[in-house]
Structure 1
Amino acid sequence: MKNKNIVFTLLFALFAVLLPLFVKAPYQMHILILIIIWSVIGTAWNLLGGYAGQVSFGHAAFFGLGAYAAGLLKFHYDISPWWGMLLGPVAASVISLPIGLICFRLRGPYFALAMLALGEIFRLLFTNLTSFTNGARGILIMPEITGKMFYYYLGLAMLALTLLTTYLIVHSKVGYYLVSIREDQDAATSLGIPTTRYKNYALLPSAFFTGLAGAFYMNYVAFIDPNIVFNLSNVSVMVILVVMLGGVATTWGPTVGAAMYIFLGELFRTTLGSANVLVFGILVCLIIMFLPNGVVGEINILMKQAAARKKTSLAGGA
């Protein structure tokens, strides 16, 4: 199984690197870049929500902080927004520390509501601090690089770093502690695991990579305002749908979910007109109902069942 995963990863990496050689239309490249952005955010959220079991409705706060870190550098100091690719994730991580210390005292729906309120607080704060953030008018910059090929490969490198970091964390002692907290926090506490500390260990990289995606988004789109980057439904809720579609607590689930969400969303928008939201919503509900583990999660279950049957048949034949 491990060898199969390595082969699949190498094949996917080769496919992703070579894809722009065949897909060159600007609109198609734009769709691929959006998929990469949401794959990064989904993978980051999955570390906290999937493996640690801490469902966050407030990741728009970290995404918006990363985006504004890049935009404000240009807006106030005329510094290249590309420096925001360093400042944005650091700012999101630093802000996540006090947030984690406060919100991780809560559990379940109370934690989810606290994180939801966090995103709304940042949206209102950045809307009303007009002298600092330019308020609802937002920040518009002139992109320093316009070639979509550059953004595609930079985004691909960002996704690879996010996937690698998540994989290393999940398959370390920290990852095993996070899973134990997700399954039964009281039992984990009774075994001496400092649950709040390890939940913060999951929140820090989750906020970091979400902020990195926000800074990348600012440089790519070149315009942000609080209602775009701190948006509850279009960021915080969308990332949860992305992960659920692909598969919670799976390595490739967020990437598959992002591809499905973006492709199907664009397909329905261009073919169904105003009815696309209704049809897309129904489809998402059906997938969640009949594939509760997500696409990748269900595939993993089927592969494990097939391997178990094969092992059983071999043992019976012997």
Structure 2
Amino acid sequence: MKNKKILLSIGVFVLAALIPLVLKVPYHLHILNLIIIWAILGTAWNILGGYAGQISFGHAAFFGLGAYTAGLLKLHLGISPWWGMLLGPLVATIVSLPIGFICFRLRGPYFALAMLSLGEIFRLLFTNLQSFTNGAKGILIMPAVISKVFYFYVGLGILALTILVTYLLVNSKIGYYLVSIREDQDAATSLGIPTTLYKNLALIPSAFITGLAGAFYMNYVAFIDPRIVFSLPNVSIMLILVVMLGGPATIWGPTIGAVIYISLGELFRATLGSANVLVFGLLVCIIILFVPNGIAGEMERVKSWLQRRKIDVPGGEKDELLRSQ
């Protein structure tokens, strides 16, 4: 079963790599690049929020730190922002360590509020440090003339790496501990699991990948300001919606959610004008209400139900074999 899933995942990436050969319109490639960026961000958030059950409203802080690291290298040192792809994730990870040490002592809504304030703190900080960050004016870079196809393949490579890291993590001892913490933290603690340590072990890759996506975003759009990259509604909350739509605690859920969220958002914006926000918001609410496990989560549930039904049907050597297993 695992081998089939791995082969299927490889097949999906191979097919995705062929898309630019068919879609050559710059606008379509731009939409694909946005989908990839949000799929990376959603997968990163899913490690902490989906598998560990720690609902974070502050991932905009890590995203903004990664983006600003790339931008500040160009602004102050004249270094290519592509080096921010290395330094941005490291900065986000380093900042996440004391944050995790403090905030993971809180639970439930207290943790969520603490993380929510984190993004706002960085937004205000980077807005007021005008001599260092250029304040509300933001940072504009003049990127080299690179086609959107190049960004597509770079983003696709990052997404593949992100999904691989997530798969290896959740199928390790750390992943099993994270799920136990999500299901019942008190029971996990009583069994001797150091819950704060393992929640931090989920935060570290989550912050690292989010910072990496932020640095990639800076290179792609070539402009950032604190209101964009440290935004609560447009980054932190949108991340959660992407994961909820696709399916929390699933490998491919955030990617599916990103495809739905970005595609429908652009479609409604083009066809409905100013009413697109209302219609799209209602659609998201309906999906969350009637598909609480997300698209991928419901597919897994239906698949499990069919497997159980197949085992419960009497007769046949195959059924007997499945029953014995």
Partner of 1:243: 243
Q: Does 1:159 align with 2:159?
A: yes
Match of 1:148 in 2: 148
Calculate the TM-score normalised by the size of structure 2. 0.96
SS in 1 for 2:146: coil
Q: Percent sequence identity over matched residues?
A: 72
Give 3-state SS (helix, strand or coil) of 1:42's partner.
helix
Q: Secondary structure at the match of 1:292?
A: coil
The answer for the alignment partner of 2:182 in structure 1 is 182
Q: Distance in 2 between matches of 1:6 and 1:41?
A: 21
Question: How many angstroms apart in 2 are the aligned matches of 1:14 and 1:239?
Answer: 26
- CA distance in structure 2 between the aligned counterparts of 1:130 and 1:213, rounded to whole angstroms: 24
Task: Report the counterpart of residue 61 of structure 1 in structure 2.
Answer: 61
CA pair 76-314 structure 1, distance change in 2 beyond 3 A: farther
| Residues 310/21 of structure 1: CA separation in 2 closer, same or farther (3 Å cut) | same
Which amino acid in the other structure matches residue 67 of structure 1?
Answer: A
Q: Secondary structure at the match of 2:18?
A: helix
1:46 aligned partner: 46
| 2:101 corresponds to 1:101 | yes
1:6-155 aligned within 5 A: 6-155=6-155
Query: Using the alignment, how far apart are the partners of 2:187 and 2:306 within structure 1?
Result: 32
Matched to 1:287, the amino acid is I
What is the Cα deviation at residue 308 of structure 1?
A: 1.3
Task: Work out the number of aligned pairs and report it.
Answer: 318
- SS at structure 1 position matched to 2:250: coil
Deviations 1:120-144 (A, max 9, x none): 0000000000000000000000012
Q: Distance in 1 between matches of 2:207 and 2:6?
A: 27
Deviation at 1:11, TM superposition (A): 2.0
Q: Report deviation, 1:6.
A: 2.5
Separation in 2, partners of 1:315, 1:171: 34
Deviation at 1:38, TM superposition (A): 0.3
**CA separation in 2, counterparts of 1:303 and 1:179?**
21
Give the Cα–Cα distance (whole angstroms) in 1 for the partners of residues 20 and 37 of structure 2.
Answer: 16
SS in 2 for 1:175: helix
Q: Distance in 2 between matches of 1:221 and 1:13?
A: 24
1:272 aligned residue? 272
Q: Distance in 2 between matches of 1:101 and 1:158?
A: 28
Runs (4 or more) in structure 1 with deviation over 2 Å come to: 1-4, 314-318
- What is aligned with 1:312? 312
Which deviations, in whole Å up to 9, do the C-alpha atoms of 1:148-204 show, x marking residues without a partner?
A: 011000000000111000110100000000001001111111111111000000000
Question: How far apart in 1 are the matches of 2:3 and 2:287?
Answer: 30
What is the TM-score normalised by the length of structure 1? Answer: 0.98
| Alignment partners' CA distance in 1, 2:315 and 2:224 | 60
SS of structure 1 residue aligned to 2:19: helix
Cα separation, 2, equivalents of 1:229 and 1:104: 24
Cα distance change on mapping 1:107 and 1:312 into 2, 3 Å:
same
Alpha-carbon distance change, 132 to 308 in structure 1, aligned in 2, over 3 angstroms: same
Q: Partner letter of residue 71 of structure 1?
A: G
Q: Tell me the amino acid that sits aligned with residue 116 of structure 2.
A: L
Determine the C-alpha separation between the residues in 1 that align with 2:10 and 2:314. Answer: 30
Deviation at 1:314, TM superposition (A): 5.2
Displacement of 1:84 in angstroms is: 0.1
Map of 1:228 onto structure 2 = 228
Q: How far apart are the structure 2 equivalents of 1:287 and 1:146? A: 38
Q: Secondary structure at the match of 1:79?
A: coil
Query: Which runs of no fewer than 5 residues in structure 2 stay unpaired?
Result: 321-325
Q: Residues of 2 paired with 1:244 and 1:185: CA distance? A: 22
Separation in structure 2 between the aligned mates of residue 146 and residue 279 of structure 1, nearest angstrom: 36
Aligned-partner Cα distance in 2 for 1:315–1:54: 45
Corresponding position: 1:292 with 2:302: no
User: Residue type matched to 2:310 in 1?
Assistant: K
Question: How far 1:315 sits from its partner (Å)?
Answer: 4.9
Q: Show CA shifts across 1:247-295 (max 9, x none).
A: 0000000000000000000000000000000000000000000000000
Q: CA RMSD, aligned part only?
A: 1.0
**Matched residue SS, 1:193:** coil
Matched, 1:214 2:202: no
Q: CA deviation at 1:2?
A: 2.6
Q: Match for residue 281 of structure 2?
A: 281
Take 2:47 and 2:172, find their aligned partners in 1: how far apart are those partners? 13
